[in-house]
Amino acid sequence: MSSLLLTGGRVIDPASRFDAPADVLIRDGKIVAVGADIAKRVDSDTERVDVSGLVVCPGLIDLHVHLREPGQSAKETIATGTQAAARGGFTTLVCMPNTSPAIDNAGTVALIRDKAARDGIVNVFVAGAITKGIAGEELAPIGSLKQAGVVAITDDGHCVQNNELMRRALEYAKMFDLPVMDHCQDYALVSDGVMHEGYWSTALGLRGWPASGEDMIVARNILLAELTGTHVHCQHLSTARSVELLRAAKKRGVTISGEACPHHFTLTDAAIAGSEKFWSADGKGVFGVDSSADCLPSWPVYDTNFKMNPPLRSARDREAILEGLADGTIDVLCSDHAPHCDYEKEVEFDYAPFGITGLETELALSLMQLYHTRRLSLSDMIAKFTVAPARILRLSKGTLSVGADADVTVLDPDRPWVFHREDSASKSRNSPFEGWPMKGKAVMTMVRGSIVWREETEPANVQLNSANR
Ligand SMILES: [Zn+2]
């Protein structure tokens, strides 16, 4: 029996509405007790880790990650992706099926689960495809995907355009009790757009990806969720109208939810015109300083690290996403961690692939935009990284209740640090947040009672019972 006691922290467990100073006792990979006076009761040979001044919360969950295996291991592997997750404070990931080949059959699901058990240092759950080859034409074998262990289906990176096919996907998913996650993009409206359609796309001479291209599919998903009763989860929402549609649908009791990524509520499309334009147009208030401050990071115009899908939107959209997070319309925070090789991103803006890394910056950016600005309490923000995704995907994770797996994140919500791409554990470097001063950081990550990552400035590592994984 191996035991570990986290002493002196502020324990926040939104699932059980607990937020108080307490100790957490872990034994054999499980939470055994949470309370104020545990330290006195445990035997003296129990390993103790002093976490006073820090927040202890359930291990964070990111339900939208591209681990790139199989087939694209030059960008990321299950090993490097889960290491980046651990450094970011994440103990559980859901990997997207747009790999090569796509995760559209039981064999590929088994391959990833096998590999994750061997190489992964955090929990990896798999999302299966809605359609074969993510081609949007023929349904994938949803029943056998479920049997193989997927926790949801999505064609992420792509979007099923045929509404009748999507309806059938939802009906099958309901029979197998699977939520359907959707990347909301109307191909006809978006065409070959590469950035948000608006003032800056015109000024920069880049083809526009209109907000209506997302709104249209969010509206479609609401109607189909209402028709079928299946839970639909709208991925990486970026527009004001999407938030409005979701808010009204939830009021009617539609089984729908949504997620947002930090880049969409931190940056705007002005960032593609370069740092100077961004700070003077929309960047005021990002660090709570004025745009003449000299701590502001800089980047060039047409920097492809600011190209993602959906694209960075207008300042009004950014504000609407923040409001949607604050009033509960948007349930979940996630990264859409999408690693790409340097050589792929170092091309003209039009030709670069969409996507940025995010596992190591999402917690800090969320704290900065939601907690430090007082839009959300710390507990409500942590809920969007823990109990909310766990409930949508029916995972027995995201809580510190007695008997739960000891997946634990220890974080310092106020710690100042600077993000540098070269320090990242990810195999890729495509982050727009190079050199950004951050506030708030995970300092220790535990999966089933084992410390999988710990800030180096802390005292020596405490490793226990590595066999329990
Ligand atoms: Zn997507």
Look-up: residue for tokens 């992706």?
81
Say if CB 235 and CB 154 are below 8 A apart: yes
Give the distance between the most distant pair of CA atoms in the chain: 68
Dihedral of CA atoms 120, 124, 127, 133 in degrees, nearest 10, equals: 10
Any idea how long the chain is? Answer: 469
Give pLDDT tens digits along the chain (469 positions).
689 999 999 999 999 999 999 999 999 999 999 999 898 888 888 999 999 999 999 999 999 999 999 999 999 999 999 999 999 999 999 999 999 999 999 999 999 999 999 999 999 999 999 999 999 999 999 999 999 999 999 999 999 999 999 999 999 999 999 999 999 999 999 999 999 999 999 999 999 999 999 999 999 999 999 999 999 999 999 999 999 999 999 999 999 999 999 999 999 999 999 999 999 999 988 887 666 677 899 999 999 999 999 999 999 999 999 999 999 999 999 999 999 999 999 999 999 999 999 999 999 999 999 999 999 999 999 999 999 999 999 999 999 999 999 999 999 999 999 999 999 999 999 999 999 999 999 999 999 999 999 997 644 444 433 333 3
Residue 339 amino acid letter? P
104, 336, 407, 412: the catalytic one is 336
Q: How far is the CA of 303 from the centre of ligand 1 (A)?
A: 20
Q: What tokens does 329 get?
A: 């319309």
Dihedral of CA atoms 71, 76, 80, 81 in degrees, nearest 10, equals: -100
The SS3 call for residue 23 is strand
Q: How far is the CA of 90 from the centre of ligand 1 (A)?
A: 20
Look-up: residue for tokens 């479609």?
220
Q: How far is the CA of 14 from the centre of ligand 1 (A)?
A: 27
Q: How far is the CA of 308 from the centre of ligand 1 (A)?
A: 9
Looking at residue 457, what DSSP letter applies? T
3-state secondary structure 82-96: HHHHHHHCEEEEEEC
Taking the whole predicted model, whether its pTM rises above 0.85 is answered as yes
Rounded to whole angstroms, what are the CA distances from 206 to 178, 210, 257?
39, 12, 32
Q: Is 336 a catalytic residue?
A: yes
